[in-house]
Amino acid sequence: MNDSAYTTEPTAAAQPDRDLDDPMVSVENLKKHFPLFEGIFQKKAGEVRAVDGVSFSIAEGETFGLVGESGSGKTTTGRSMLRLTEPTSGRVEIDGQNVVDLSDGELKRFRRNMQIVHQDPASSLNPRHRVKSIIEAPLKIHDYGDSEARLERVEELLDMVDLPREFMYRYPGQLSGGQKQRVGIARAVALNPKFVVLDEPTSALDVSVQARIINILEEIQEEFGITYLFITHDLSLLKNVADRIGVMYLGRLVEVGDVDSVFGSPQHPYSRALLSAISTISEEDELAKPDRITLDGEVPDPREKPSGCAFRSRCAHEFDACAVEEPELYERGPDQVARCFLHDDRFEEGAEWE
Amino acid sequence: MADPILEVKNLHVHFETHDGTAEVINGIDFSIDRGETAALVGETGCGKSVTVKSIMGLLPSATIPEGEIRYKGEDVLSLSDAERHSRRGKEMSMIMQDPMTSLNPVLTVGEQMMDVLKWQGRPRLSLSKLVRDTLSTGAKAEHRTRAIEMLGEVEISAPERVFESYPVELSGGMRQRVLIAIALLSEPDLLIADEPGTALDVTTEAKVLDLLDELVEERDTSVLYITHDLGVAREVSDRINVMYAGEIVEQAPTADLFANPQHPYTRGLLESIPTLSTGIGDGIEGHLPDYTNPPAGCRFADRCPHAEAACHEAYPYPRQTGPDHATACHLFEGLPARERHESLATDPVNIGTAPWLTGGDAPGDISADGGTDQ
Ligand SMILES: Nc1ncnc2c1ncn2[C@@H]1O[C@H](COP(=O)(O)OP(=O)(O)OP(=O)(O)O)[C@@H](O)[C@H]1O
Ligand SMILES: Nc1ncnc2c1ncn2[C@@H]1O[C@H](COP(=O)(O)OP(=O)(O)O)[C@@H](O)[C@H]1O
Ligand code: SF4
Ligand SMILES: [Mg+2]
Ligand SMILES: [Mg+2]
């Protein structure tokens, strides 16, 4: 099956010993449906199933990467996990605690364990507050020491994100995009959270700045064992930062696995198309990805759940079964599953893969 | 240069701002041959859009204190507005960076396309809509067919429906394709594409690139492709011009640039790009200089890991470092790539040789981790 030229079959030895039996974060059948209203009486006129039954786990100190095109539900997944938007249903366990069950008061206290870094550093920092009070805010909310202890912590955090301590007295408007994002990171890790959602933390930045931010995030993770959910469009970036990844399409995960398996041998036609579209800067990388697959066909309207497989309108492999029922996640390796009928033994005849 | 369709020589572009004069573009030179695709690459704010808007004559608030822009041998800066207008569309046409703002929201896609076909090469502001419509009834059916055909060519699946739609009714990817269709309608000899893929998803961007490629092949169009992504530039272009802070710091044929990147900025960029096989580098500390108070010597000196005192003083004019490779950095020796810098070359600055060429293991040495110099 996996005999194409770009396959880099993961060896058993290369598998890190990952404790997924006792994960730091686990998501089970998470759903978030946004109701749509119309008319002057705001009658409910349907819903967008932004996240529609997502499950995955992240081992402590690891990074789970979430990739997929615009509108596929990545941000909504991250925000529902932190209850920044209320999930419709599902279970989200962080450090053994089901976050979905927490009362408002409990949630407020639990927030110190879970934080987010937003995509757009400019709009996520209050322009009228100095850097010091921005980073200090979560410390104050959670009663972290006296003002002296907090100042010390702010200095420590600035060192951590590689910003001069004097920057404490600047306003966000006086910082470059990369510097603002460092402030966002310092604020997110101020209380030593267990889990941080990084929602496209570098996509507003130039590559030369991105590389420094990524290095800082990795240093912090290594030192404090933080668990990350890393959301991005950029597959080459994900290959470098993630231990395991999930590929999202229309609110569902269509492939999940460890990063080497999914990149080495993508098992869902959509993952394969995504990988094939990466632009590279070397021959070596060119050979390491599938041949270009262009996706034809329309992206389905998110308000109307398509019958059968959600990807079939754009899939080159579509066959009879795809329109009838929705494929489940089929096991494709020690840590790799893909939601595609091509991997169902029942359909060996109709299915063409490779 | 064999047969350049476009030549830019010693172009300077300034803006008046409340902090003083912003000297954004500082003496750039490049050219594009017929049928060639050239890329202009650099990070946000380095002056890519200003450069191409100057070429198109779309920067009324800018001043061009010095420089020459030759299109098919003719100096376009000396033309009148009307004459320049007449060269837009049929001769050169541009896909703007932002698909949302460059389509007119109150006109249907069809109306905007018909407008291009009817009025290409003629100033349209002087006539009322009524007169325009009476004048053009004959050509109308033919134009409509042509426009719908073009929408099909940019792989819009329901071209008739899109023809009747308003821009808000289309997704981002579809808008971008409509813009491309409009730019190609008049079959320009030179197509300028300002980051056409940036607002798109990877799979859609890849498709747009393929499409441009195909159309260029068919029509022998010359293309100036603007991007901040060296990976995309590698895919689409024959030649690359790397821009930093309003100067072109390195130019070479695409294969040559990747095989032998020279300028510390180019190398820093390449090192920063996450790759599938070799990882992600350290990035480049710092940010672009202030254009109202640009550095006297090398504009990259504040961020350069190899900068010496001399770099902050002396202008590193572009020099010939290979038969078809020019680099603006004191680490390299070579004859000035431009005649106007000959006087500077009589007093060369010596800061030694690039460490990656002498086998030293210096910062910015991307060959050390199996990078790009195979
Ligand atoms: N507050 C909301 N009300 C209604 N629909 C919403 C809301 N927020 C998101 N959606 C819809 O949910 C779907 C998923 O959106 P989401 O922001 O999670 O996508 P994403 O994968 O993060 O996309 P991007 O890559 O563009 O950031 C989209 O169809 C979006 O329009
Ligand atoms: N109309 C204008 N007036 C003043 N400054 C401008 C104008 N247009 C661009 N600039 C400045 O010129 C520099 C280069 O901008 P631009 O060419 O848009 O960069 P990019 O390479 O990202 O396309 C920036 O500092 C920008 O702020
Ligand atoms: S001239 Fe000096 S500062 Fe500028 S790029 Fe070369 S070595 Fe660096
Ligand atoms: Mg998002
Ligand atoms: Mg631009």
Mutation for testing the A interface, residue in B195, B271, B273, B278 having most A CBs under 10 Å? B273
Query: Where are any strands of DSSP class E within chain B?
Result: 4-17, 20-33, 37-41, 62-71, 74-75, 92-95, 190-194, 222-227, 239-244, 247-253, 319-322, 325-327
Q: Can you name the residues that pair with A34 across neighbouring β-strands?
A: A48
Q: What is the 3-state secondary structure (H, E, C) of A260-273?
A: HHHHHCCCCHHHHH
Nearest CA distance, B47 vs chain A (angstrom): 14
Inform me whether the C-beta atom of residue B195 falls under 8 Å from chain A C-beta atoms: no
The finding on whether B329 has its CB within 6 A of some atom of ligand 3 is: yes
Confidence check: pLDDT of A17 > 80: no
Answer yes or no: is pLDDT of B200 > 90. Answer: no
Cβ-Cβ pairs closer than 8 A, A with B, add up to: 126
Average pLDDT over residues A276-298: 85
- Six-digit token pair at A147? 């003002």
A11: which DSSP letter?
A: P
Flag if A283 and B374 touch (Cβ within 8 Å): yes
| Digit-coded pLDDT (tens) for B108-143 | 999 999 888 876 544 444 445 555 555 555 568 888
Tokens of B344: 């500077």
In 10 A of CB B42, how many CB atoms?
27
Q: How many domains does chain A have?
A: 1
Q: Is residue A3 over pLDDT 70?
A: no
Half-sphere exposure at residue A162, Cβ-oriented, CA atoms within 13 angstroms? 17
pLDDT at A134: 96
Does residue A20 lie in a domain region?
A: no
Contact A230, A65 (CB under 8 A): yes
* CA-nearest residue, atom 25 of ligand 2: B45
Q: Please check the confidence at residue A2 and state whether its pLDDT lies above 70.
A: no
- Say yes or no for a CB contact (<8 Å) between A239 and B276: yes
Evaluate whether residue A35 is within a structural domain: yes
pLDDT for B371 = 38
Centroid of ligand 4 to alpha carbon of A122 (angstroms) = 16
Mean predicted lDDT score pLDDT of chain B = 86
Q: Which amino acid is at B50?
A: V
Give the lowest-confidence range in A52-56, A208-212, A226-230, B51-55: A208-212
Determine which of A207, A214, A265, A271 to mutate to test the interface with B (most B C-beta atoms within 10 Å).
Answer: A207
Q: Do B276 and A289 count as a contact with CB atoms less than 8 A apart? A: yes
pLDDT in tens, B170-189: 877 788 888 888 888 878 89
pLDDT at site A215: 94
Does any CB of chain B come closer than 8 Å to the CB of residue A280? yes
Neighbours of A203 (CB within 10 A): 14
The SS3 call for residue B235 is helix
- Amino acid identity of residue B42, one-letter, is G
pLDDT (mean) for A11-15: 44
**Atom in ligand 3 nearest the alpha carbon of residue B354:** 7
The residue written with tokens 């099909």 in the block is: B152
pLDDT band, residue B278 (cuts 50/70/90): confident
Distance CA(A13)–CA(B201), nearest Å, equals 35
Report whether residue B227 contacts ligand 2, using a CB cutoff of 6 Å. no
Q: For residue B205, what pLDDT is reported?
A: 76
CA–CA dist A342, A322 (Å, integer): 9
Rg, Å, chain A Cα set: 21
Residues in Cβ contact with A242 at an 8 Å cutoff, skipping those fewer than 6 apart:
A63, A64, A65, A230, A259
A278–B157 CB contact, under 8 Å: no
Predicted-complex ipTM score: 0.83
Q: Which residues of B touch A219 (CB under 8 A)?
A: none
Domain contains A193: yes
pLDDT at A4: 39
**Predicted pLDDT at B210:** 80
CA distance B307 to B330: 9
Asked if B244 and B24 count as a contact pair (C-beta separation under 8 A), the reply is: no
Residue given tokens 């997924």 in the structure block: A20
> Chain A contact for B47, CB < 8 A?
no
The answer as to whether A6 is a domain residue is no
> What band does B11 get if pLDDT is binned at 50, 70 and 90?
very high
Residue at B186: amino acid letter: S
Q: How far is CA A217 from CA A37, A183, B157, in A?
A: 40, 12, 43
Q: Residue B351 Cα, ligand 3 centroid: separation in angstroms? A: 9
Q: Give the pLDDT confidence score for residue A9 in this predicted structure.
A: 42
pLDDT exceeds cutoff 60 at A51: yes
Q: DSSP labels for A89-116?
A: EEEEEETTEEGGG--HHHHHHHGGGEEE
User: In the prediction, which pLDDT does A1 show?
Assistant: 37
pLDDT, mean of residues A303-322:
88
Read off the CATH number of the domain in which A336 is found. Answer: 3.40.50.300
Instruction: Name the least confident of A302-311, A319-328, B254-263, B338-347.
Output: A302-311
The Cα of A148 is separated from the nearest Cα of chain B by a number of Å equal to 31
Looking at residue B225, what is its pLDDT?
95
Confidence of residue B199 (pLDDT cuts 50, 70, 90): low
pTM as predicted: 0.86
Whether chain B has a CB inside 8 Å of the CB on A211: the answer is yes
C-alpha–C-alpha distance, residues A21 and A57, integer Å: 9
pLDDT classification of B311: cutoffs 50, 70, 90:
very high
Contacts of A140 (CB under 8 A, 6+ apart): A150
Confidence of residue B289 (pLDDT cuts 50, 70, 90): very high
* Enclosing domain of residue A96: 25-353
Ligand 3 neighbour B319 (Cβ under 6 A)? no
Could you tell which of A33, A74, A85, A200 is best to mutate to test the pocket of ligand 1, judged by most ligand atoms within 8 Å of the CB? A74
Tell me, what's the pLDDT at A186?
95
User: Mind listing the domains of chain B with CATH numbers?
Assistant: 4-239 (3.40.50.300), 245-358 (3.40.50.300)
Query: Residues A193-211: what's their mean pLDDT?
Result: 92
Q: What is the pLDDT of residues A259-285, one digit of tens each?
A: 999 999 999 999 999 999 888 898 888
Please work out whether the CB of residue B48 comes within 6 Å of at least one atom of ligand 2: yes
Locate tokens 């730019």: which residue? Answer: B183
User: How much is the pLDDT for A299?
Assistant: 72
Q: Average of pLDDT values for B50-78?
A: 94
- A292: contact with B, CB 8 A cutoff: yes
Residues of B with CB below 8 A from A233's CB?
201-202
Whether ligand 3 lies within 6 angstroms of the CB of B306 is answered as yes
Residue A3 lies in a domain: no
CA distance A176 to A29: 40
